[in-house]
Amino acid sequence: SYVLTQPPSVSVAPGQTARISCGGSNIGIISVHWYQQKPGQAPVLVVYDDSDRPSGIPERFSGSNSGNTATLTISRVEAGDEADYYCQVWNRNTDQAIFGTGTKVTVL
């Protein structure tokens, strides 16, 4: 089965840039979506189709996808960005959604 691997944790100082990777075989040829989840809350879509942002999501959130790695980038990190982040794809071979293992972003 298709697996999406993320680093368990990323730490970043306020104002700096956080980069969260999502590794998968040839992930660059499929659309990747990213979700932010704060404790006790439902996930929120922050980037879709590799690099697009839903309305209301700050421009500080951006994404890229190529080869075997997709990346979510959070620029000018703020304390409110501290959360768990998950990547997600739809496996069209099996008609199943797949979530990454998740990354906890800590703002120092």
Partner 1 sequence: EAQLLESGGGLVQPGGSRRLSCVGSGLTFSNYVMSWVRQAPGKGLEWVSAISGSGGRTYYADFVKGRFTISRDNSKSTLFLQINSLRVEDTAVYFCAKIFGDKFDYWGQGTVVTVSS
Question: Which residue from 18, 20, 23, 35 is in contact with partner 1, where contact means CB under 8 A?
Answer: 35
Q: Which of 2, 7, 28, 48 binds partner 1 (CB under 8 A)?
A: 48
Binding-site member from 9, 45, 67, 78 for partner 1 (CB under 8 A): 45
Asked if 26 is part of the footprint of partner 1 (rule: CB under 8 A), the reply reads no
The percent of the chain in helix, strand and coil, each rounded to the nearest 5, is: 5, 50, 45
Report phi then psi at 79, rounded to 5. -55, -35
Quote the CA–CA distance of 25 and 46 in Å, as a whole number: 23
> Using the rule CB under 8 A, which residue among 14, 49, 76, 108 binds partner 1?
49
The whole-angstrom separation of Cα 69 and Cα 81 is: 22
List of residues contacting partner 1 (CB under 8 A): 1, 31, 33, 35, 37, 41-45, 48-49, 54, 84, 86, 88-90, 95-102
